[in-house]
């Protein structure tokens, strides 16, 4: 994932605690193969399709994209079954970063391994501060997120050694870029 500069800006989509992988991408969409471009886009169109109707639509109807480059969530984001399709679906829908209070380990690992999005953590409970549609700006260099409406800046935990893995496009991209493996494709 390459940033334009060190910032991610835009409207946020806000969720609470324990958002599981079945909510992020329901199991009946797991037959879509992310390495096939059309199916990658379809994954994006089904991102967050498991949410109850009480939530606003995540993906703009009739498209495969969400207008939200940033998600804000509570604790234990990405819990449930181990499916790498979860961060891939969010990335395919246009999400660049999820800012959660905590992550399920498997979602965090899958986000890093796929390089689809930045899994950022905040000690503050930002899902109680932001509302869906609020504008935010993440400064990756400073490890902060700013609520553009109030101007308040919140600290994020630094990604440390996983940041270059994500920026290289995931584990395979990082391994290729550092010379750990050769070739261009996943089978190389």
CA-nearest of 118, 78, 74 to 98 is 118
* pLDDT bracket for residue 178 (50, 70, 90): confident
Domain contains 182: no
Task: Identify the residue with better confidence: 20 or 5.
Answer: 20
Q: What is the pLDDT of residue 28?
A: 94
pLDDT tens digit string along 45-81? Answer: 999 999 999 999 999 999 999 999 999 999 999 999 8
* Residue 184 counted as domain residue: no
Contact, 168 vs 111, CB < 8 A? no
Q: What is the pLDDT of residue 82?
A: 82
Domain span at residue 96?
7-177
Residue 145: exposed, middle, or buried by beta-carbon count in 10 A (0-12, 13-18, 19+)?
buried
pLDDT computed for residue 174 by the predictor: 83
Does the pTM exceed 0.95? no
Number of separate domains in the chain: 1
The first and second tokens of residue 98, run together, are 């999820």
How is residue 5 written in tokens?
A: 């500069």
Per-residue model confidence (pLDDT) at position 188 = 43
Q: Quick one: angle between helices 85-92 and 37-45, nearest 10?
A: 90
CA distance readout (Å), 96 to 55, 91, 128, 185: 20, 6, 21, 23
- Is residue 187 in some structural domain? no
CATH of the domain at 119: 3.20.19.10
């Amino acid at each position: 994932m390459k940033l334009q500069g060190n910032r991610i800006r835009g409207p946020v989509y806000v969720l609470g605690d324990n958002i599981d992988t079945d909510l992020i991408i329901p199991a009946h969409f797991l037959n879509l193969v992310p390495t096939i471009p059309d199916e990658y886009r379809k994954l994006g169109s089904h991102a967050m399709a498991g949410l109850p109707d009480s939530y606003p639509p995540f993906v703009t109807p009739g498209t495969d994209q969400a207008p939200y480059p940033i998600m804000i969530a509570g604790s234990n984001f990405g819990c449930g079954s181990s499916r790498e399709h979860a961060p891939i679906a969010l990335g395919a829908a246009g999400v660049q970063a999820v800012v959660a209070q905590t992550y399920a380990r498997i979602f965090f690992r899958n986000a890093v391994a796929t390089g689809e999005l930045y899994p950022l953590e905040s000690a503050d409970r930002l899902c109680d501060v932001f509302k869906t549609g609020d504008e935010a700006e993440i400064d990756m260099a400073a490890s902060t997120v700013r609520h553009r409406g109030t101007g308040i800046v919140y600290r994020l935990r630094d990604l440390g050694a996983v940041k270059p893995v994500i920026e290289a496009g995931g584990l395979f991209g990082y391994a290729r870029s550092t010379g750990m493996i050769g070739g261009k494709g996943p089978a190389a």
